[in-house]
A and B are shown apart, each in its own frame.
Chain A
C-alpha cells in the first residue's frame, strides 16, 4: 500500500507492505537529509510475559546486543562504532524496539546488523554478566521515588497482569530467569509476523523491502500469539505509600481512557492540553503558577485495547492534601461544566480553548516530526497499534476535525474526576 500525497500525487508519503516473509515493512521517503533511521519493532513486552518470566522482555532487549549467530557482542559493538551509528533500544509493556540513525551511506550496514540481532545467540557467559547489569538498572530505579510510585500505581490499576506488569521485573524475578527460558521466549515472540521494520530517509523502498525479506529468512515464520487482554480498575480510592528517599510528595492518578484504536484519542490529546499541559493549562494556573506544585500534568496514554488518563503532580509533602483537593476541584469543574460553545458554567471548556489546544498540538506535531528517527519510530508504533502508519498530514487532519461533541462524548465515557490516586510521601 502506498499512502499518496494529496498535494502531489506522484510523491508518496509512505510505503507500507506486508512482505512475503510476514514482516511488515514501512518506508517514509519524505525526509531529505544526510541521515537515515532504521527501526525494528517487535510486538512483545512485559504484557506478554507469563509467570516466572517477569522482566524477561527487557533482559532480552539487552541480550540482543550481546551476540548473534554471525557476530559476537564485541563485533556488534565495534561495527556500530565503525558506522558512527547512534543506536539504542527500549522495552515497554507492549513492544521492544531497536533503532539507529546513521549517515545515508551506512544504512544498508545498519539494517543488516539490526536484523541479524533479531536472532540472538544468548551466550551463557554474556547472559551471566548481563544479568548483573539488569540488576544494577533495577537498583538505580529503586532510588527514584516517582518511578517506584509509577510501578506500584499501574500494577494496581491494571490488576497486576498484562498492561501494568513491571517492565524491569524485580531483582528476584530477574535473578531466577535462565537461558533456556529466554530461548523459549525468543522462539515464541521474535517471529517474522510479529515484527515491523520501519525506515525513514532518502532511500529506495523496493531495494530495502527485498533486503528486509532476505535478511529475516532465518527467523521463525509462524504467527505469534496475541497479547492477553487487560482491564483497568477505577475505584476512586486513594492509596498512600512511603519511601525513605522521598523529599517531595508525588501524586499519581489513573482513570480509564480511550485505547489506541479509539477515535476519541484525538479529543483526549486536546483535552489533556487544556487540562494539564506544562504551561497555560487549567492545572498549571491552579497549582504551578501559584507555586503549590513543581509540576502538574494530565494526559492520556492509549494502549492496545485499553487506555488511561494519567495525572502526575510533585509538591511539598506538607501540602499534598491541599494539592489533591485543588487538583480534583479543577477536574470536577470541567467534568460538570462539560464542553460548551456558549453556556459558560463552572469549568466549562470553551470553543476558544479547544481551538487554542488544536493550534498548540498542530505546531508541536510539525516541530517534532523533523528528524528521521522520530518519523520512523512514530510510523512503526502507529502501525502496531492502529494498523496504519503515522502520516503527519493525516494526523493533522484528524486533530483539526475534533469537535466539541467529541470532547463531550469523551468526558461522558471517560470521566476525569474519578480516579485512583496513588501518593508517595517521605517516610
Chain B
C-alpha cells in the first residue's frame, strides 16, 4: 500500500478530518486487548474467533474488530470491550465469541456470565466505565491505549495524534517548547524524577553536533510493565514526544533502547517508525519543514544496569553496559561523546499531552512538586492486578483498595513495595501517604519507574530484602568496588539470616555496609541498592529479630525456620493440600479424615498452605 506523505502541517489536520468523516461513530466495534498479558491469556485466538464468527454471519463489513494495546485490567484477561455500548467482557475464550456476537452485537443483550463481578459485593458490572478499577483512574497517558490499534497510524491520527507535533512545528519556537515543559513541572518517570525541561535546556545549550535524543525503554524493575504497555499499545505517543523533544533540543537523530524481553514492544515500535516515516511525521523534512529526525531501535541484551543513563549509552555503542561517573553530564557528552538527552518512555508519552492541552491544564493535576499522573503496575497480593494511571498525590490506600480491590481471600495487608530493587517496603501505617516523588523518597522508598507490589501476611520481609539484594548483586556490573563487593556481602548476611544462621551483630554490620554502599557507589544501582534492606529494617525490624533470636520466620516463608502443621479442627479433608505437595509429605485428607504432614518428608515449601481453602495450615 502506498501511503500519502503529509508535506505540510495543514495536510495533517485535513487528513485527520477525512479520517474522522469517513468513520462511523455508531458502527459497532470489538476492542480486544492485545497486550502481552491478554495475549498470554489467549487474546489473539479470541480476535481470530471474532473475525471468523462475524464472517460466517455476514457481518464483516458492519462490525470492526480491533486489536488494541493493553487495557490494563490484566487480572481479568482476555478482555473484550464492545463499542458503542461500552460493554466489558472479561476472561473471554474463543468458545464464548459466538454467544457474544449473537447476544450483544446482533441483539442488544448482555452475556451476564462474562461480565465483571466485583469481588467484594459480588455485583455484576456490565459497562467498562462503571468498573471501579477504571472509574477511579485518571487516564492521560494511557487514554488511547485501549482504543487505538497500535499497528495502524491512522487510528492514532484520527484520535488527534501528531497534532501536538504540528502545533510545535508551526506555532512554537524551540525555546517556547522547552519553556512549556519546564513550566509544566514534568519530572522524569523512569525513577530519578529529574526536571525534564531543565534536562532539555542543557542539551539545547550544549555545543557539538550531532545531538542525540534517546528513549529509555529498558524497563528492568521486576514487577513493572508500564513502559512495555505504552510501547506496545501506543508507540506513536512515544515517537511524537521524541520528535517534539528533538525539535526543541536541536537533535536530528535518536535511539529507542528496548529490553529484548519485550518482543511485542519492539515489533510495534518498528511498525510505528515505518508508518510515521511514510506519513512524513518522522524522518526527513517532517511535515514539510526543514526539521529532520531519524530514530532507530536498539535492543537490550539482558542487563538491569543498562537502565542507567551512561550504561545505556555504552550499550548502544556496542560496549559492555558499565556506567561512568557523571562529572561531565550526558547532556554535554553522552552517546558517542555528543550532547544527548535521555528520557523514559512514559516521560516522552507525556510530552504531546502537555503541548496539546496546555501547561495550565497539566499543572492542575498532581501535587505541588509532582505534576501530572503516574502509571503504576499494581501486582502481587492484590485482587485487581493490572496497569493503573492515577494523579500524583493520590494515597496508597486509594490505589490499593479503591482501584486494586484490596487483598485476595481477605488476608491482611502487610506492606507495599514501590520503586523496584531501588525502592523500599512501606507498612500499613503509611497507607495514607500521598504518592509523589518527594513523599516516597522521604520515607525511604522511591517512585522508581512505577512498580507497586502489594504484600500480605504470607510475605517475609527479610526474605524480600534478600530477594532484591540477590537480584542486585547479580546485576551489579562490577565496575566499582562498593557495589560489587558491598551488595554481595549484604546478600550473604541476609541469606544467612533467612537460613537461620544469623547473629544479632549481623544486623548492625548489615546497616553499616548499607550506608557504605549507598555513599560510595558510582551509579544509581549501587546508591539505592540498600533501600530494600534499610526500609525493611526500619519498618519490620522485629521480623529480623524473630529470625535471629527466636529462630522463627513469622510469615512462614523461610524454609529453615518454618514448620507447618495442619489444624485438625479446621481441616475439611478436601485433599487440596495433597495435590499441591510436591514431595508427597501429606497423608489423610479424605473421607472426613483430616490431612497430616509428615515432618520428615516436608520441605516446608508452603505449597500446601497456599492451596488450602480453609486456612487450616499454620506455622
Q: Are A and B a genuine interacting pair, yes or no?
A: no
